């Protein structure tokens, strides 16, 4: 199976970090670096369409660039007809169990469109009951979840993501991991990867600053504020959000727990450390 990782040409330190990890895991032969779409230098021709209203009124140029970088890989998977592929961003820390976990999933041939391999520390995550696959466990994703730093996608999943993104106004992670009736999205449990920015400072792995920092927060030219839309749009969005919280509090959360589901972040593999 091919492993693609997205990396900006002007940040070779991150490519070195990723290649060192792949070398230690014995995965170098499967890896292909994808030159990321750069929000600072590209003309950014994209499928971004502000009239497609989801939970965002507007995307930042950096968010569009990240989305288009993922789309480049989905196109390649479909063009080359890969049954499965792994997609990563260049600031993910990988567990020593990463390769074994992916191999187990492929050997089990569980049907999925998208399978999230990394974890993030968002408390609002919702997952279904756990499924055990010969030493590896996965959970259905019940609500969109953050971080698109590491995931597997099947050929059918790549086709669906491509078709749906002919016009989009959503950040990549929300779009990729949005549960839909015709799209099967799973999360590995525990996670075998995590973005460095989510890790506790006590993490045993030594990482350069360029890995643990987000360019969108460190780069002054990318700190422009997103237009959040008119007041009527924001009020409607907040109303839907409040209704969702109330429903979960009084009905949904109890149901999820009763069905052996999970509320909150997925734990990390032991060698990855702890969330912040």
Is the predicted pLDDT of residue 23 greater than 90, yes or no?
A: yes
Is the predicted pLDDT of residue 243 greater than 90, yes or no?
A: no
- Quick one: pLDDT at residue 146? 87
Instruction: Supply 52's token pair.
Output: 């497609």
- Quick one: pLDDT at residue 140? 93
Q: Phi, psi at residue 210, to the nearest 5°?
A: -65, -20
- Quick one: pLDDT at residue 60? 87
- Quick one: pLDDT at residue 87? 98
Is the predicted pLDDT of residue 216 greater than 60, yes or no?
A: no
* All residues at 6 or more sequence positions from 239 whose CB lies less than 8 Å from its CB, including other chains: none
Ramachandran bin of 208, using left for φ above 0, alpha for ψ from -120 to 50, beta for the remaining angles: beta
Q: What is the DSSP letter of 48?
A: B
Q: What is the DSSP letter of 265?
A: P
**Distance separating alpha carbons of residues 53 and 51, to the nearest angstrom:** 6
**Distance separating alpha carbons of residues 266 and 236, to the nearest angstrom:** 30
Instruction: Supply 207's token pair.
Output: 């990482």
* All residues at 6 or more sequence positions from 93 whose CB lies less than 8 Å from its CB, including other chains: 21, 193, 194, 195, 196, 199, 203, 205, 207, 272
């Amino acid at each position: 199976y091919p492993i693609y990782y997205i990396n900006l040409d002007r940040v070779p330190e991150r490519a070195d970090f990723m290649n060192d990890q792949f070398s230690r895991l014995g995965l170098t032969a499967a890896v292909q670096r994808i030159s990321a779409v750069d929000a600072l230098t590209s003309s950014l021709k994209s499928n971004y369409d502000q009239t497609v209203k989801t939970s965002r009124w507007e995307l930042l140029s950096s968010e569009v660039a990240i989305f288009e970088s993922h789309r480049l890989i989905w196109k390649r998977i479909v063009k080359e007809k890969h049954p499965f592929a792994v997609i990563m961003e260049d600031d993910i820390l990988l567990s020593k169990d990463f390769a074994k976990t992916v191999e187990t999933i492929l050997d089990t041939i569980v049907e999925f469109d998208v399978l999230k391999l990394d974890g993030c520390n968002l408390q609002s995550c919702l997952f279904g009951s756990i499924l055990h696959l010969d030493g590896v466990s996965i959970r259905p994703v019940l609500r969109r979840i953050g971080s698109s730093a590491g995931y597997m996608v099947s050929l059918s999943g790549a086709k669906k993501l491509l078709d749906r993104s002919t016009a989009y106004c959503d950040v990549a992670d929300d779009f990729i991991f949005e549960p839909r009736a015709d799209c099967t999205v799973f999360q590995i449990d525990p996670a075998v990867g995590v973005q460095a920015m989510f890790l506790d400072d006590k993490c045993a792995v030594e990482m350069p600053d360029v890995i643990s920092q987000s360019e969108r927060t460190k780069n002054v030219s990318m700190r422009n504020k997103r237009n959040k839309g008119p007041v009527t749009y924001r009020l409607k969005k907040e109303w839907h959000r409040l209704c969702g919280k109330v429903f979960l509090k009084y009905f949904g959360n109890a149901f999820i727990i009763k069905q052996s589901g999970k509320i909150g972040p997925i734990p990390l593999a032991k060698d990855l450390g702890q969330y912040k």
